[in-house]
Amino acid sequence: MCFHTSTTNKVKRLEKHFDVTLSDPKLEPYFDKPTYHHNGFSHPNMLVIPQEKHKFLAPAVWGIVPSSKTADEIKPYFKESVRYGGGLNARSEKVFDHFVYKNSIMERRCIIPVSGFFEPHDYKKKKYPFYFKNADDSPIALAGLYTVIDTYITFTILTKNASPLFEKIHNLKKRQPAIMSLEDSKNWLDNTLETHQINELLTIEYPESNLETYPVSKNLFSTKVDSNVEGIIEHVRYNELPKVV
C-alpha cells in the first residue's frame, strides 16, 4: 500500500509538465517548499489535478472522506477510519462497489503528482523502506479519487496488484500504487470515459524501466525522528539485506 510519498517539485515544474495552473497563486510559496516525506496518517495537504477542473492544480487533504460528511466531521472521521487505512488508499478492484469510491469513480477521478513514494520490503521479519522515483526525476502521476466537502477536497491513491518489480519490493502485501504515463493521466481525467475504459486504464502497466528504486533510512518508520529531511530519500546500504533488484 502507498502510505508515504515525497513532493519536491516546484509548482512551476508541475504546471509545465501537466499543462495545468495552480488554482490559487497565493499558495505557490507553500507548495514550493519541498516535502521529502509525507506520512499519510498525518493527512497532509498535497496537490491534485481534479477531473472537474482538470486544468488546475488544487490543494487537497490526503485521506478520502465520504461526501456526506461536513467539514467539521473530517478530522473525527480520520480518527475513526485509521484502522481501515485512514482513506489513504483505495483498491482499484473495488472502485465500482465500495460505498465511497463508487460515488467518485465516474466524475471525481484525480491525478496526484509526486516526486516519489516509499514501499516496505520485508526480510527476516524486518522492514526496510524502499524509495521509488522516475529515473529521469520527472514527476510521477498517481491515479486517485476524491470527494468535495464544503471548500475541502479529500483524496485517496488507487492501488492494484503488484507488477514483477513491485512484487520483489513490496513482498508481503504485493500491491502498488496505480502509476500513469502523462498521456494516460490526461485520459484518466476525461469526462467521457465509460466503465470499461476506466478499467482498461487501471490495468495498463507503467514501464518498470522508467523507475528507479533503492533502500532508504529506517527513520522513515520512526515516530521519534523527523523524517521530513532531504536525507530520507538518499540511498542507504544494508549489509544484511541481499540485493533485491
Please, are residues 93 and 159 in contact by the beta-carbon 8 Å criterion?
A: no
Q: What is residue 66's predicted lDDT score, i.e. its pLDDT?
A: 97
Task: Look at the chain and report how many structural domains it folds into.
Answer: 1
Distance CA 92, CA 234 (A): 30
pLDDT reading at 1 higher than 80: no
Average pLDDT of the segment spanning 16-41: 98
Q: What is residue 97's predicted lDDT score, i.e. its pLDDT?
A: 96
Distance CA 230, CA 226 (A): 11
Q: Is residue 215 part of a domain?
A: yes
Average pLDDT of the segment spanning 8-12: 98
Cell of 162: 503488484
Q: Is residue 244 part of a domain?
A: no
What percentage of the chain carries pLDDT values higher than 90?
98
Average pLDDT of the segment spanning 188-203: 98
Please state whether the predicted TM-score (pTM) of the whole model is above 0.75: yes
CA 22 to chain centre: 19
Q: Is residue 204 part of a domain?
A: yes
pLDDT reading at 26 higher than 80: yes
Q: Is residue 51 part of a domain?
A: yes
Work out whether the CA dihedral 144, 147, 9, 227 comes out positive or negative: negative
pLDDT bracket for residue 17 (50, 70, 90): very high
pLDDT bracket for residue 191 (50, 70, 90): very high
Q: Is residue 50 part of a domain?
A: yes
Work out whether the CA dihedral 14, 89, 203, 168 comes out positive or negative: positive
Q: What is the pLDDT of residues 209-218, one digit of tens each?
A: 999 999 999 9
What are the two backbone dihedrals, phi and then psi, of residue 179, each rounded to the nearest 5 degrees?
-100, 140
Average pLDDT of the segment spanning 143-161: 98
What are the two backbone dihedrals, phi and then psi, of residue 31, each rounded to the nearest 5 degrees?
-85, -10
Q: What is the pLDDT of residues 91-150, one digit of tens each?
A: 999 999 999 999 999 999 999 999 999 999 999 999 999 999 999 999 999 999 999 999
Q: Is residue 62 part of a domain?
A: yes
What are the two backbone dihedrals, phi and then psi, of residue 45, each rounded to the nearest 5 degrees?
-80, 130
Q: Which residues pair with 141 in a beta bridge?
A: 113, 180
Domain that includes residue 45, residue range = 4-233
Cβ contacts of 126 within 8 Å, gap of 6 or more: none
Q: What is residue 171's predicted lDDT score, i.e. its pLDDT?
A: 95
Q: What is the pLDDT of residues 166-187, one digit of tens each?
A: 999 999 999 999 999 999 999 9
Distance CA 196, CA 78 (A): 32
Q: How far is CA 222 from CA 127, 129, 173, 237, in A?
A: 12, 11, 21, 18
- Nearest Cα residue to 144 out of 204, 92, 71: 92
Q: What is residue 152's predicted lDDT score, i.e. its pLDDT?
A: 98
CA 207 to chain centre: 17
pLDDT bracket for residue 83 (50, 70, 90): confident
Q: Is residue 245 part of a domain?
A: no
Q: Is residue 203 part of a domain?
A: yes
CATH code of the domain in which 25 resides: 3.90.1680.10
Radius of gyration of the chain (CA): 17
Q: How many CB atoms lie within 10 A of CB 9?
A: 21
Q: What is residue 84's predicted lDDT score, i.e. its pLDDT?
A: 86
